[in-house]
Amino acid sequence: TGKGESRQVWYYHTDVTGTPQEVTAADGTLVWAGYIRGFGENAADISNSGAYFHQPLRLPGQYFDDETGLHYNLFRYYAPECGRFVSQDPIGLNGGINLYQYAPNPLSWIDPWGLAGSRLPRSNGYWDGSPGESNWHSNNPSVNAITGGEPISFSGGRPDFSPWSKGSITFNEGVLNGSQNDFTEVYKSIAKEMNITPTAAKNLLSEKGLTPHHLSVTEIILVPSDLHGNVPHIGSASDMRNSSRC
């Protein structure tokens, strides 16, 4: 903050979702610490510097409004004491069936725009930037056995598993809808290609440890189950389900 000789550097210490927990000065002095409750309410301000430090950042994408006590979330306001938005979702049911919900679980989901939440990894690893918009470095041995220790790229809260894909299936537009029926379509496609039954195709994927993952509204890739199941995420399947509610 500031310019010239008055310029100061502050270091923000956040939790796994990117919510500020402490702020320190360049010399390590604690200038602010908050007691942030589950859905973002700051119950107390703590400072070792002896002076008030204005720290308005709350849950990812939120800015505290002193006048109203609400959190400004770009597209709408959020009430932290009840963990809900005070106005309806501007994208309607595309953001989910509950028009006022922040997220199912604030420890593993974020909603920085106030539109639609994202489920993100929060343990057994770390982000090298903004959660959901950077690389996730997993500490899970099962994941690293597949990735070779390489980080998993996230954009818009969605992971890119394609570097570890073992195959892909492309469908005509409109066939996939994000439901369990999509798996049936995968088994039918593999069965036709290999001249086996859909049940045999399902068993084959299970034996090889592969899980179908929606890459887009028309393409499904086959991802190692130990990778897919150990990296919390949402993707195109969730987007299609939400879209179909409109």
How far is Cα 188 from Cα 107, in angstroms, rounded to an integer?
38
From 110, 130, 157, the end of a domain falls on 110
- In this structure, the answer to whether residues 131 and 105 fall within a common structural domain is no
Among left, alpha and beta (phi > 0; psi -120 to 50; other), residue 74 is left
- In this structure, the answer to whether residues 11 and 92 fall within a common structural domain is yes
- In this structure, the answer to whether residues 78 and 164 fall within a common structural domain is no
Token pair for 31: 């200038």
Burial 140-176 (b: 16+ CB within 10 A, else e): beebbebbeeeebebeebbbebeebbeeebebeeeeb
Question: In this structure, are residues 185 and 171 in contact, taking their beta carbons and an 8 Å threshold?
Answer: yes
Residues with Cβ within 8 Å of residue 203, at least 6 apart in sequence = none
Quick check: is 21 in a domain? yes
Distance of CA 93 to the CA centre of its chain: 19
- In this structure, the answer to whether residues 171 and 137 fall within a common structural domain is yes
From 63, 83, 110, the end of a domain falls on 110
- In this structure, the answer to whether residues 50 and 99 fall within a common structural domain is yes
- In this structure, the answer to whether residues 165 and 82 fall within a common structural domain is no
- In this structure, the answer to whether residues 169 and 221 fall within a common structural domain is yes
How far is Cα 244 from Cα 246, in angstroms, rounded to an integer?
5
Q: What own/partner pairs with CB < 8 Å and gap ≥ 24 does 87-90 have?
A: 89/114, 89/115, 89/116, 90/114, 90/115
Whole-number pLDDT of residue 244: 45
Residue 14, domain extent: 4-110
Element (H, E) at 94: none
- In this structure, the answer to whether residues 98 and 156 fall within a common structural domain is no
- In this structure, the answer to whether residues 95 and 35 fall within a common structural domain is yes
Quick check: is 209 in a domain? yes
Quick check: is 115 in a domain? no
Quick check: is 131 in a domain? yes
Quick check: is 76 in a domain? yes
Structural domain count of the chain: 2
How far is Cα 61 from Cα 1, in angstroms, rounded to an integer?
20
Whole-number pLDDT of residue 95: 58
From first to last of its 246 residues, what are the pLDDT tens digits of the chain?
A: 556 666 788 999 988 778 899 999 888 889 999 888 888 888 877 776 667 788 999 988 899 998 898 999 888 899 998 888 888 877 666 556 677 777 766 766 666 666 655 677 877 899 898 878 899 999 999 999 999 999 999 987 789 999 999 999 999 988 988 778 899 999 999 999 999 999 999 999 999 999 999 988 899 999 999 999 899 887 655 554 444 443
- In this structure, the answer to whether residues 132 and 177 fall within a common structural domain is yes
Residue 102: φ, ψ to 5°: -80, -55
- In this structure, the answer to whether residues 140 and 218 fall within a common structural domain is yes
Question: In this structure, are residues 149 and 156 in contact, taking their beta carbons and an 8 Å threshold?
Answer: no
How far is Cα 49 from Cα 31, in angstroms, rounded to an integer?
5
- In this structure, the answer to whether residues 124 and 42 fall within a common structural domain is no
From 89, 110, 131, the end of a domain falls on 110
Whole-number pLDDT of residue 13: 92
